[in-house]
Amino acid sequence: MKTHLLFWLKQTALLFFFWLALFFIQRLIFVGVYHSLFSKVPFVDLLGVFFHGFRLDISTVGYLLSPLFLFTLCFSFLSNATLQKFVFTLLWVEVFIIILVHVGELGVYDEWRHKLSSRVFMHLSNTNEITRTSGYAALFFAVFTFLLELCAAILLFKRINKANPIPVDEISQIKRAGTLSAFSFVCLPLSVILMRGGLQQIPINIDAAYFSSHIVANDAAINSAYYFGNSYFLFKKSDLPNHVAQSLSPAEKNKANAFYAFYPSDVKLFENSINPNVVFIIFEGWSANAMGCLSSGKTATPFFDKMAETGVLFTDIYAANTTSEIGNAAILSGFTGLPETPLTLYPEKHRKINALSDVFSKRGYHTSYLFSGDLMYGNIKGFLTEHRFKRLQDEKDFDQKLPKGKLNFYDEALFDKFLGELKNNSKPFFSCVFTGSTHFPYDGPIRFKDFSGEDADYLNALRYADHCLASFFEKAAREPWYKNTVFVLVSDHGHNTPKASYPQDLKSYRIPLLMYSALIKPAFRGKKIYKPGSQADIATTLLDQLSWPTDSFPFSRNLLSNRTKGGAFLSTIRGYGIVDELGGFLYHFDQKKTTSNTYKSATEYNEGSSLAKACLFTLFQYFQAL
């Protein structure tokens, strides 16, 4: 029995290293084929390609081994030799697919400049396109590379067979089957741990391999099979095309064009300043419904309310969705996104659009982003890395001796670190900080007990976060860079509160947006902008105030122009909606009905519905073309 168990333990270990070796060889081939693209990549980043991709490799091995364990569990009654043949047959099916994916990636990377994704199915559905665009040289290269990787796999496979001969074990079939079943039963959950990248709260994703400011280095580090599998899952999961109109009428096209049209500002908020510093404070889940300056009732944010008295407050702003990765992307890129289609999860697309960090970086600004949790969530790190943030920090960069909650370090530690970063930044700078203490499970310091009832934990956490914000500004105001800095304070998404407890309620998407600066002209201090808008409108609104071009943000609108139509398109998880000056609505795909409607008449609703339909179509067409 011992010999029998050791055989399968060794077999598993050998298969584990077989896959890691094959992935290493595939990276070598990628670097060799595209060596010209690595000419400007520092040597340390070239080495990092093999180091930083290791965790995704291990996760991929978990996915590849799990069906082998499951098969072994189901057919443990077979003899060692017979079972090994079946397992190896399944292994070679996986090898064939893995090599095919990598060869396909090598073939398209020169043109696409991103890894093989579900986009390939769009091309495979049109064989005429493939035959017309592929020449004999490309075909020869594909066949040659496939055979090369296949030969490498065969050589590795022979080493496995040679290193682990099948034992002659005289134990009974029942004992052998029981031992093998127990072995497989234990290995299956272990493979799941490998798949999710460990026991941490947030499972691993492609973000784990992002480490360089050079796109090609990140692409080489990301495991090709993992990336393709993730893309395929997103491709199969989404039925969004079924919910988007096939075409628009001329009137509907005009509505969308008018909605997204750019108009210059009617006012200039800031005193003349050459290249002011810009700081974005992105709150985790701050709801407008819990803030005194934006709603009636008891406030959880007395300091923010006080800031609004001397800043410029936008009173009717809506988050594009309900998650942090979508909110961050919308704020920085001016693109609201699409239902169940987080922009950050599509590197091949988001790298083709501009973000505010790109604009500021090109103008010589130092760019940085700080978060007190794990930026791996939702591939936020990948998005930020590819959009010119020179300094990117998260929980790994904090003093690990500081007190910490389950998901992040507390806001007071975050703001202290952020203040230190701002002091050391070269000028001018564009710096972002993303808070975390208002995220469930609200396990930050219990300093305030102002609220009781069902939402007390969230509201008291919000009160604590506001206190930390006050401390930050008290210290920042003494810094020499402060008077030449524009602060933009906005939430990544809304939150359920007693006034909006249902996520299909429009009010739950309403968030704060405040521009605050010593540069604001006296006439505009304390001004309120009542025009409905989206967090995606910040980009164009801010850039136009700086008198910079805004044409690289086609879906971000200027909220400081009287000609801009007030409104916000919402791309919810399983639906969409819109808010305008007359009301708003949300529609749910699965329920096939409107779940929230604040329009006062059917005519108003029909107008809003028509605009939302046109916006969804326009955004979808744009996204598909990226």
pLDDT on residue 126: 47
Residues 366 and 501 occupy one common structural domain: yes
pLDDT on residue 11: 80
Domain count, the chain: 2
Last residue of a domain, one of 561, 576, 607: 561
Whether a cis peptide bond, with omega within 30° of 0, leads into 264 is no
In contact, 58 and 13? CB cutoff 8 Å: no
DSSP 8-state secondary structure symbol assigned to residue 556: -
In contact, 205 and 230? CB cutoff 8 Å: yes
Six token digits for residue 183? 């072995």
Residues 413 and 483 occupy one common structural domain: yes
* Residue 586 resides in a domain: no
pLDDT on residue 556: 97
In contact, 463 and 450? CB cutoff 8 Å: yes
Q: What is the pTM of this model?
A: 0.77
Residues 448 and 398 occupy one common structural domain: yes
Residues 216 and 283 occupy one common structural domain: no
* Residue 43 resides in a domain: yes
Residues 182 and 296 occupy one common structural domain: no
**CATH number of the domain residue 406 falls in:** 3.40.720.10
Q: Which residues of 546-573 are buried (b: 16+ CB within 10 A; e: fewer)?
A: beeebebbbbbbbbbbeebbbbbbbbbe
* Residue 608 resides in a domain: no
- Domain span including residue 520: 279-561
Last residue of a domain, one of 521, 545, 561: 561
* Residue 614 resides in a domain: no
Six token digits for residue 459? 């509201």
Residues 230 and 351 occupy one common structural domain: no
Mean pLDDT by 10 residues, the chain (626 residues): 70 89 95 90 92 92 88 71 80 93 86 70 50 65 91 90 68 67 80 86 82 86 89 73 89 94 95 93 95 92 97 97 90 91 86 95 97 85 91 94 91 97 94 94 88 88 97 97 97 84 79 97 96 97 96 96 96 87 88 87 95 95 92
Query: How many angstroms separate the CA atoms of 292 and 489, rounded?
Result: 16
**Amino acid in the structure at residue 35:** H
Residues 328 and 218 occupy one common structural domain: no
* Residue 188 resides in a domain: yes
DSSP states of 280-349: EEEESS--GGG-TTTSSS--S-HHHHHHHTTSEEEEEEE-SSSSHHHHHHHHHHS---BTTB-GGG-HHH
- What lies within 8 Å, CB to CB, of 409 at 6+ separation is 372, 373, 395, 398, 402, 403, 436
* Residue 393 resides in a domain: yes
pLDDT on residue 235: 65
* Residue 224 resides in a domain: yes
Coil vs helix vs strand at 472: helix
pLDDT on residue 266: 94
Residues 205 and 346 occupy one common structural domain: no
* Residue 623 resides in a domain: no
Last residue of a domain, one of 524, 542, 561: 561
Residues 317 and 465 occupy one common structural domain: yes
Residues 356 and 209 occupy one common structural domain: no
Query: How many angstroms separate the CA atoms of 605 and 578, rounded?
Result: 10
Residues 219 and 308 occupy one common structural domain: no
Residues 545 and 405 occupy one common structural domain: yes
Whether a cis peptide bond, with omega within 30° of 0, leads into 522 is no
